[in-house]
Structure 1
Amino acid sequence: MNTGAFAASLAGAQRAAFAADLDVVVIGAGAAGIAAARELKAAGRQVLVVEARDRLGGRAFTDASLGPAYDAGAMFIHWAERNPWVKIAADLGIDTPSEPWGGGFRVFADGRPMPDADRTKRRAVFGQIDRRLETVDIGKRDLSVAELLGDLGPEMAPVAASGLLLSIGEESDRISARDYQRLWAGDDLVVPSGYGNLVARHGEGLDIRLGEPVSAIRWDGPGVEITTPSGTLRARACIVTVPVGVLKAGSIRFTPELPSATRDALDGIGMGALTKIALRVEGDRFGLGPGMSYLEAGSPKAMMNLDLFPDDKDLVIATCGGDHARELSLAGADEARAHVTDLLAKMVGESVRKAVTGVSFPAWWTDPFSRGSYSVCLPGSEAARDRLAEPIGGRIWFAGEATAGGGAMTVGGATLAGRAAAAAVARLKV
């Protein structure tokens, strides 16, 4: 008997018997999911987006819970020269000016102005990461950023790496130097009306079901079966755009389990904890003009930047990252409010305590639908992003900022990754 012919005929019978509800299901309505769905819709595919949250945008989220709105997640259109959101915003008539200079900058240690000598000493080591990446050979072996800076000594190495807590959101010993080196650079633009609002608007007109967290994906048949609270969806393929943190937490059960190469890729990627704590602060503003930035840098591990009254709004937005941000996230909104208020009281005076009237704290680290701010390749795992982007069984694709290569950690990268996955799915015969 010709077993090859028999297997082929059986596979054909299975395909014929598989009555898909849809061509493609996209899981997640953040930037990657919206981009993928738009690409598939343009290709004439029947596509549905299911989203666990009750809103669009994912980690691009413009929060107006305090009255004045601010971007609780992504806020910059990075590397604007190649970022797709420049054109998307222009097509929608949304302004994206250059990043403003702000209203001034001061450095503090434990809430007190840092002495000039200490500031000068610390400023001398900032920028050492980029200088070392240009001179140290990491071709033979990937290093952590901490290793890259090791010869600066135990006092200055953490200072040199501390800026990454406010950009990458992770401790330097957990960041691959090679992955950091490949990240794209360029001009930054901002979205005064809200980056999260922009992403959500781009999702308008798509078939999106909110409040539908996916709990299981079965892919041992000719298509995929996707379990949500409303029932099971059957599709020819699916694009999974949920954050790596959600996948690593096992929030979605895969049957059969994911291939070992995919599991290894996930093991090589962590999630940073870049975190914003917004306070509503009302009153005379303590004589400060809008847009002032105060940097608390007394302890490199507890680095925190406070943007005071940005865009002339009654807000103070504190940003931190790494393990310090994780601790605040686990402590909750009340503790986060108290921490920032105590710091402000040292900086501007005790009267600030009465002026603080509210807190907004979308803690990404403890959010069950994100489990972190954005992806970070662990040392020695710089190839994990590319491996995670490889299709599984010709019917599952992972896409998002974690698979965006040099565009990782950004909304623009997530969008490009979503489009790339959708283009691959659109080439399938359905």
Structure 2
Amino acid sequence: MAAAFAISGRSSAATDADIVIVGAGAAGIAAAQALRAAGRKPIVLEARGRVGGRAFTDNSLGPAYDAGAMFIHWAERNPWVQIARELRIETAEESWGGGFRVFANGRPMADADRRRRRDTFNQIDRRLETVDLAARDMSIAELLGDLGPDSAPVAASGLLLSIGEESSRISARDYQRLWSGDDLVIPSGYGDLVTRSAAGLDIRLNEPVEAIRWDGPSVTVASRSGELRANGCIVTVPVGVLKAGAIRFTPELPAATRDALTGLHMGALTKIAFRVEGDRFGLTPGASLLEAGAPERMMNFDMFPDGKDIVIGYCGGDYARKLSEAGTQEARAHVVDLLATMVGADFRKAVKAVSFPAWWTDPFSRGSYSVCDPGHENAREALAQPIGGRLVIAGEATAGGGAMTVGGATLAGRAAATALARLKA
């Protein structure tokens, strides 16, 4: 870490690099591509041993699945539709042909309870269409508060599987402005698509950045291999990493940027996947099973999607945080017990391996994606403001209505590149 201060006595404006980009996720890749198209020479430093960030197609179980981002959201304007087309990679509509079943504590939920639950679920959109947020922002929990102590948690529980956060911590204004539209999937893997798109870029793996100095005639970036002085720097690491202080900034970030970070935090949408061989337990491939007995512990399972020998569970919020902090083996035992109750005790014998990409405890993510705290709905725009003319923070957190998506991160990376492309080389 001391190496980051070795430059304090330097007066030379000579640089080792043109623009340094920290992070090779979707935002970093997009920024590098845009800068290269503008005639610049970006270098990307990536802490992991792979590119893609939270867009990651996991092959560790044999059958591949997207352990992070899965959907090309708002496909009508998402840049990844065109990128996939250019790379001749197939996109498809999500298929729900395997059926949908709801459970309460491992047992099929009664039809009447299912109908009440479905009707209650729709209250979020109805309230957002009618509530007046002009005077002040509020949390989703407050927005739903008059539904009562029984219905409000049920209405909000769907956010655990979309936003990955408790309703009391979600800004209603920020949620209201998120873009919507059709969703597409990448049968060959969204993460693999993002990885392929990075071909030809100067990306240096296993280079976690420790410190950035930005108050001189250049920016100095200190990573595992040493220092790079550059004309400018784009930081695309997740909000969780910035808030954890994993990168030291000298001088510290401006008050407006620090305030923006204070108003954002990371959700905890989490997946756990199993390789399951043999019995299909009478289920049609692609069936979806939802455990909804306790709204705060809701978990959805994709059973044998596309006929693969794999089961994928999804959960979010504090439930997902506790599973992540418990570790892979405890999480496996807990979820296998739940599935054995839902589909039969033989499920235990059919499970052969587990994959648990716990983004919440991943030091290079610290969560799934950014969430605006109630009352801080302007934090995304504030975080995106250039710092000192040479430093920009970019990613899904700065994407406005495109936040929480790979497409939004890509648009934010391109915008950051535009902000720095005018710097004198």
* Secondary structure in 2 matching 1:365: helix
Matches within 5 A, 1:311-330: 311-330=306-325
Cα distance in 2 for residues equivalent to 1:206 and 1:16:
31
Cα distance in 1 for residues equivalent to 2:57 and 2:76:
24
State whether structure 2 residue 46 is matched by structure 1 residue 46.
Answer: no
Matches within 5 A, 1:93-108: 93-108=88-103
Partner of residue 130 from structure 2, selected from 128, 132, 135: 135
2:198 aligned residue: 203
1:3 aligned residue: none
2:293 aligned residue: 298
* Secondary structure in 2 matching 1:94: coil
State whether structure 2 residue 76 is matched by structure 1 residue 73.
Answer: no
2:145/2:152 contact within 8 Å kept: yes
Of residues 380-389 and 219-228 in structure 1, the stretch that sits farther from structure 2 once superposed is: 219-228
Cα distance in 1 for residues equivalent to 2:230 and 2:322:
41
* Secondary structure in 2 matching 1:227: strand
State whether structure 2 residue 348 is matched by structure 1 residue 353.
Answer: yes
Of residues 186-195 and 285-294 in structure 1, the stretch that sits farther from structure 2 once superposed is: 285-294
Cα offset, 1:101, TM superposition = 2.2
Cα offset, 1:15, TM superposition = 11
2:172 aligned residue: 177
Query: AA paired with 1:163?
Result: G
1:132/1:148 contact within 8 Å kept: yes
After TM superposition, the score normalised by the length of structure 2 is 0.97
* Secondary structure in 2 matching 1:162: helix
Cα distance in 2 for residues equivalent to 1:202 and 1:124:
42
Cα distance in 2 for residues equivalent to 1:367 and 1:278:
17
Deviation readout 1:254-276 (Å, 9 max, x if unpaired):
00000000000000001000000
1:80/1:189 contact within 8 Å kept: yes
State whether structure 2 residue 411 is matched by structure 1 residue 422.
Answer: no
Query: AA paired with 1:272?
Result: G
Partner of residue 252 from structure 1, selected from 247, 258, 267: 247
Query: AA paired with 2:405?
Result: T
* Secondary structure in 2 matching 1:154: coil
State whether structure 2 residue 284 is matched by structure 1 residue 289.
Answer: yes
Matches within 5 A, 1:20-419: 20-419=15-414
Query: AA paired with 2:284?
Result: G
* Secondary structure in 2 matching 1:285: coil
Cα offset, 1:146, TM superposition = 0.1
2:231/2:423 contact within 8 Å kept: no
- Structure 2, unaligned runs of 5 or more: 1-8
Cα offset, 1:429, TM superposition = 2.2
User: What RMSD over aligned residues (CA atoms) do the two structures have, in Å?
Assistant: 1.1
* Secondary structure in 2 matching 1:307: strand
2:5 aligned residue: none
Deviation readout 1:367-398 (Å, 9 max, x if unpaired):
00000000000000000000000000001100
Deviation readout 1:211-259 (Å, 9 max, x if unpaired):
0000000112111110111000100100000000000000000000000
Cα offset, 1:284, TM superposition = 2.2
1:309/1:315 contact within 8 Å kept: yes
Query: AA paired with 1:153?
Result: G
Deviation readout 1:282-307 (Å, 9 max, x if unpaired):
10211212000000000000000000
Query: AA paired with 2:42?
Result: V
Cα distance in 2 for residues equivalent to 1:411 and 1:122:
31
Cα distance in 2 for residues equivalent to 1:136 and 1:146:
13
Cα distance in 2 for residues equivalent to 1:383 and 1:374:
17
* Secondary structure in 2 matching 1:286: coil
1:329/1:365 contact within 8 Å kept: yes
Deviation readout 1:72-99 (Å, 9 max, x if unpaired):
0000000000000000000000000111
Cα distance in 2 for residues equivalent to 1:324 and 1:287:
29
* Secondary structure in 1 matching 2:209: coil
1:4 aligned residue: none
1:15/1:222 contact within 8 Å kept: no
Cα distance in 2 for residues equivalent to 1:260 and 1:219:
15
1:37/1:48 contact within 8 Å kept: yes
Query: AA paired with 1:410?
Result: T
Cα offset, 1:330, TM superposition = 0.1
Deviation readout 1:3-34 (Å, 9 max, x if unpaired):
xxxxxxxxxxx999311111100000000000
Cα distance in 2 for residues equivalent to 1:276 and 1:298:
19
Cα offset, 1:102, TM superposition = 3.1
Cα distance in 2 for residues equivalent to 1:138 and 1:286:
48
Deviation readout 1:21-55 (Å, 9 max, x if unpaired):
11100000000000000000111111100000000
1:5 aligned residue: none
2:231/2:424 contact within 8 Å kept: no
Query: AA paired with 1:164?
Result: L
